[in-house]
Amino acid sequence: MSEKKTFKTAQLMKEMMKKYYEDGAAAKERGIPVAWVTAVSPVEILYAAGVFPYYPENFGAVAAARKVADKLSVHAESKGYAHDLCGYARCGIGDAYADEHPIGEIVKPEVLFCCNTQCGSLPKWFEVASRFYNAPYFLLDAPLIGNEPEELCTSYYKEQLYEMISLLEKITGNPFDYDRLAEVLHLSNEACRLWNEVLDTAALKPAPFGFFDACFHMAPIVTMRGTQEAVTYYQALKEEVDERIKEGIHAIPNERFKIYFDHIPLWPKLRWFSDLFAAHDSLVAVSQYTHSWSYSFDLNRPIDSLAEQYTEEFVNRYFDYRLQLKMNFFKKYNVDGFVLFSNRSCKPNAFGLYDKRSILSEKTGLPGVVFEADMSDLRFFSESQVLAKLEPFFEQLGSS
């Protein structure tokens, strides 16, 4: 495999994330409350309220990427949390009980905010954590919606945003600052816009940037959207990607095919997958996953806009909507095939994939495959089984 030229911004990312974790660890001393929050949550409200938002999912992903997910998990499993539960949750719960912390200790929450659009595992994990750390837990509850947004669900969510704000006012002792919220939303819009511009370059053929690059560069859009740092970061990344386009530096050496990938990557096998696809001249160009952070808030109606955009996320949609979304991505990125990851850790994204695969192939004529594994736990990964699914797929690509 030819060695890939690393992004200059990778160094900036390391520094930023290091500072983010240091800030989290130091928050308590500085009198800043640490709030646990989930990846697809209106974190803009937390930034506006001046609390420190901490993402335990990111902790799980880092543990997975560093291949210690199973080591942390066993501490949860010994308490009776089964190994088929979400890998991130097992890492988080495991770390709470562990004596050793191979990736540093998870930051303890003073309050926990969870939005359940992503799944039902996060709220259950946060409930467990709320009992363990003896901190209040607040759920932003979002009923699943179909193709059309529903007033019932939007207004329910909006009502809860006000309930959330009241709780934050109590915790911080300050009235909520709506002017500050407008600033944060503006920064969030900027970061999302830049992030999506970067993602879109994967549609060029050959492309300077693909899904596995996006997995590497996504941490700031998840954890820091709403801050100037995130905007600065994605400006730098965008510039670098533009330079690469000019200089003809491509994401993989010999791009012949573009692939759609669903959904979260296998963190501990990121490199293995990236090399495997590259070896077959295939660029994984797009996944709904990295497009989760594509907000564009209306600053004139901030709360309504937050309620609409967070409940209308694809993770909160029924089967048919998600099918259509995938097909839209197929078209926009002009993909030649699709790979669907049946992720044991992520039931809401995995259930339905078997039928989606056949429907998608039928509707688009594209080759597609489903494979089984886990996003974080290598005990559920079998190289030979994955290859047994992917090799015939690559053959199909080549012959089409």
Partner 1 sequence: MNTEVLEIFRQAVEDPGKEVREWKEKKGGKVVGFLLTDVPEELIHAAGFFPFGICGGTVRMDQVEAHLQFWSCSYVRNSLALALDGKLDFLDGLVIPHTCDTTRMLMGIWKHVRPLPFMDSFRLPRQVGRPSAKQYVVGELRRIKDRLDDFRGTEITDEELSQSFKLYNSNRNLLRKLFNLHEQNPASISNKDLYTVVKASMVIEREKLNMLLSELVSVLAENAGTPNDKTKIFISGTFLEPLDLLNYIDESGGAIVGDDLKNGFRYIESDVAEAGDPLEALAERQLKRIPSASYDIPENLRRHFLVKTAQQKGVQGVILLHVKYCEPENYDYYDNIQALEKAGIPALRIETEFGDTSLGQLSTRVQAFMEMVGGE
CB of 346 to partner 1, least distance (A): 9
Nearer to partner 1, 28 or 83 (CB): 83
Nearer to partner 1, 132 or 176 (CB): 132
Query: Residues for the chain: how many in total?
Result: 400
Nearer to partner 1, 121 or 188 (CB): 121
Q: Can you tell me which residue has the tokens 């942390």?
A: 72
Residue 286 phi, psi dihedral angles, 5° rounding: -155, 145
Q: Can you tell me which residue has the tokens 């293995």?
A: 272
3-state secondary structure of 267: helix
CB of 135 to partner 1, least distance (A): 14
Q: Which secondary structure element, helix H or strand E, spans residue 21, and what is its range? A: helix 9-27
The pair of three-digit structure tokens given for residue 356, joined into one six-digit string: 């989606």
- C-alpha 75/C-alpha 95 separation (Å) is 7
Nearer to partner 1, 50 or 352 (CB): 352
CB of 82 to partner 1, least distance (A): 5
- Residues 6+ positions from 32 with CB-CB distance below 8 Å: 50, 51, 52
- C-alpha 157/C-alpha 152 separation (Å) is 9
Beta bridge mates, 389:
none
The pair of three-digit structure tokens given for residue 127, joined into one six-digit string: 């409930």
Short-list 56, 55, 38, CA closest to 164: 38
Nearer to partner 1, 23 or 304 (CB): 304
- DSSP per residue over 144-189, as a string? -B-SS--HHHHHHHHHHHHHHHHHHHHHHSS---HHHHHHHHHHHH
Nearer to partner 1, 22 or 163 (CB): 163
Amino acid at 21: Y
3-state secondary structure of 366: coil
Nearer to partner 1, 128 or 266 (CB): 128
Binding site for partner 1 (CB under 8 A): 79-82, 84-86, 89, 116, 119-121, 123-125, 127-128, 131, 139, 141, 143-144, 152, 156, 159-160, 163, 318-320, 322, 342, 344, 347-348, 350-352, 354-355, 359, 372
| Cβ atoms 145, 153 nearer than 8 A | yes
Nearer to partner 1, 332 or 347 (CB): 347
| Cβ atoms 257, 336 nearer than 8 A | yes
